[in-house]
Amino acid sequence: MRLFVYYRVAAADLIAVRQAVLTMQASLCATHDGLRAELLRRPQSNEGQVTLMETYAGNHDAGIAEAIEAAASALTSWLQGSRHVEVFVEP
């Protein structure tokens, strides 16, 4: 299973958000054995906003999505809209 979480933030906040997300992902990977995380962004901005995507792969334990969302509560003040979660599995 792979989780994809995307959302928008103000371009002016990108550096702070990036550091917060990378710290959050490192903590999640340290506490959930086998979890791999990545942070991506769309190359273009739109009206002063950038779209970020967190990806999570590896051995997911039950409740990993809830753990990710709980950890992401620290990002709330930067969000320009809501976080969208998509789940994909191998065919």
Q: What is the residue-level pLDDT of the chain in tens, covering all 91 positions?
A: 899 999 999 999 999 999 999 999 999 999 988 999 999 999 988 899 999 999 999 866 678 888 999 999 999 999 999 999 998 888 8
The tally of domains found in the chain comes to 1
Range of 61's domain?
2-88
pLDDT of residue 65: 87
Predicted structure pTM score: 0.91
pLDDT of residue 30: 94
Which single residue is written with the structure tokens 């942070």?
39
CA dist 78 to 30, 38, 64, 68, 73, Å?
A: 24, 19, 22, 16, 10
CATH number, domain containing residue 52 = 3.30.70.100
Quote the CA–CA distance of 14 and 29 in Å, as a whole number.
Answer: 22
pLDDT of residue 51: 97
